[in-house]
Homo-oligomer: A and B are copies of this chain.
Amino acid sequence: MRWARFEQNGSPSYGIVEGDEIIPVRGSPFVGWERTATKLPLAAVKLLVPVVPPTFYAAGLNYPEHVREVAEKVGLKPALPTQADAGYRANNALIAHGESIVIPRDATDLVQYEGELVVVIGRECKHLTRENALSAVLGYTIGNDVSERSWQKGDRTLWRAKNTDTFKPMGPWIETNVNLPELITKVRLNGKELIAFPTNSMVFGVVDFLVAMTKYLTLYPGDVVWMGTEGATANMKHGDVCEIEISSIGTLRNPVVRES
């Protein structure tokens, strides 16, 4: 099942995507819902970010090749993470499928995509086990963890490197029915495929993170966990279009503009 969040009469509404139509519901997948009798053409609605999370988690470095790439760029020895330590991103930076990534005037050219699987939590939970962890997941969407590499290197935190307004595209919707080991993530810039990797080849997987995190903290409906990206990343510039595709979920597409 595909859950989209979209604008209806000026307010956010949830709907179920079926083919090229969307069926609005009363309620939401998080608090309970019922179908309405309406069907809208998907192409005619404005999609919103599929959820605004109470807390926005991110795995950060979590794929072996990407760890090596990042270490090389900053002149350090690569060190794989030894435990599933979650970090944070910020809601101000979220934009929906189709909205523009805006590069600030004073950013360098090193503004890069990172294609990521996003876990969307469906219910309040603590002390998850390896056996029941995935039962707390409503579904999966796609994130682009846009990063300004010079700020990432120089600042004390990731506040502007990763959380400048518009730096967190997320969408297009939440897919509840996926088989993690089969997924492939592909990143395209202006239609050209730059990388394709098995989505699930993380250092610490979805179950690892959910079990580790909920040993100490409660996850709430709508919380998201961005799972990290693989490999090298490339610069995006004014006029580019960046697409992240994850098989059986969909494609998150965002144009890039530089502030003039």
Name A residues whose Cβ lies closer than 8 Å to a Cβ of B: 52, 54-55, 57, 60, 81, 83, 85-88, 90-93, 104, 126, 155-157, 159-160, 163-165, 213, 215-220
Contacts and interface: CB of A to CB of B under 8 A. Distances in A.
A156 B92 contact: no
B92 A55 contact: yes
Contacts of A164: 216-217
Contact of A157 (B86, B93, B126, B220): B86
Interface of A is mostly: loop
A40 to B, nearest CB: 28
Contact of A217 (B55, B81, B165, B217): B165
A100 B156 CA distance: 32
24 contacts: A54-B92, A55-B90, A55-B91, A55-B92, A57-B159, A60-B156, A81-B156, A83-B156, A85-B156, A85-B159, A87-B157, A87-B159, A88-B88, A88-B157, A88-B159, A91-B220, A92-B218, A104-B215, A104-B216, A159-B213, A159-B217, A163-B216, A164-B216, A165-B217
